[in-house]
Structure 1
Amino acid sequence: MGIFETVVLALLQGITEFLPISSSAHLILPSQMFGWPDQGLAFDVAVHFGTLLAVVAYFRKDLQNMIVGWLTTGFTRTPNDDARLSWMVAIATVPAVVFGLLGEHFIEDNLRSTAVIATTTIIFGIVLGLSDRATVRHNNLAQMTLTLALVIGFAQAMALIPGTSRSGITMTAALFLGFNRVDSARFSFLLSVPLILAAAGLKTLELLQNMDGVDWSMLFLGLAVSGISAWLVISFFLEFIGRIGMLPFVIYRLFLGVVLFAFFV
């Protein structure tokens, strides 16, 4: 890939990874519109590590407190709030890992079509809008329970279906469960850390089996662009989501789904 393609694809990954608009729906557009070849495994690893570095950098204090809390009180009868949040994130990650391992080949073989992505982009966009209209907003992260975390975790597992959007479906579930917009987004972003780490780790293991022809300069460019853009998106989203709500993203998802159906299905 050249510099232009690298920057465009890295920007798409960085911007869409944490917005509730589906990164998979966007990453198919360049190949469909311009005939670009598949970016390859090495590039996937680079941009995933870029988004991982972004979310870790933004939530570094939260993650540090969670790790310290888990190590000091996580195995006691009275874990502190940071330790409890660590357990909730860990528990909510389990369904996606299990279903990912069990359904990886089925999803690869049957659900990566443009028609599926367009359909899920529209359907889960509508569901996101419905969740945002829920009037009950009484929960914050301190009130996260095992049951609530598992519900959000099973919702996250649904994001294995391309076009669903991992951040979108987890925020949708949290909103339906009564969490406010900001805490719904924060929990979704914290949930992304172990999942992106696991995905990037597995892809790295695959990559290590064949390192021939890797363009390291393009990889580092992709990592930097995806990381910086993802960090800016997280900052913007958390700052404004309480005021703007989910409606702009719902409208955008509906528009994107229609475009996919009209021109690429």
Structure 2
Amino acid sequence: MFSRVLLTAAAVALPLLATPALTSASPAAPVARQAAARLPDAVVEKRVIGRSRQDRPIVAWRVGRPGNRDRAVIFSTMHGDERHTRQILLALRDGAEVRGIDMWLVPTYNPDGYARHTRKNARGVDLNRNFPYRWRDLDGSYESGARAASEPETRAVMRFLRDVRPKWVVSFHQPLHGVDTDTKRPAFARRLADHLNLPRKQFTCGGVCHGTMTMWFNHNFAGAAITVEYGASPTRYRMRKAAPRQLLKALYAYRVG
């Protein structure tokens, strides 16, 4: 079924669902498949990019064509109680082969928060206030951690983005219903908003936009990171069917078949 699996020279023959003991020594190494036929047609690589505070794996799935100059990383569930948009990434991972882009999907950025149905990670830190750019000591709902990059999830994503260096980063959230166009590449943000059928907005965070992932990426890399927010309860059809197709179109990509 699946003849297009691409494995790097560093790949290790491990089962698809690797145990912590097998992956913790080299969390960023690609995980090879013993049975490639188990994977969806779209997936060309699976990588455990790090582990959460409670030792859950943070997994990135590569779809599309490695080597394509247009590379994107798509994140969801940075806040564990914003659960709907991960379905967009899972639908892309589980669907047909993707062409026109080299894309990494991280459906569950905050696995501890997802398991606990909480915004923050297991240590009570808002991971989107923990990055080392304009970091401030925030408390309450936006607890920013003991220091910048104090959390293993933050450090894992920083390592991953430094390695991949994408042209585009799209970070899905809820429930503010819009695309932040006050960003590094406003033209692309507007394109995203139009294709995803979401309003164009400017997210000020009420004065607590400090240490966010998109701010850190935009300051340190040539590529552009954009925040996309859906409403509190988007339909399953929108998440599983419409949004994946719309996102690919916005990224100048498409599915085969």
So what's the TM-score if we normalise by structure 1? Answer: 0.23
With CA pairs under 8 Å and 6+ residues apart, which has the higher RCO, 1 or 2?
1
Please identify the structure whose Cα radius of gyration is greater: 1
Higher strand share: 2
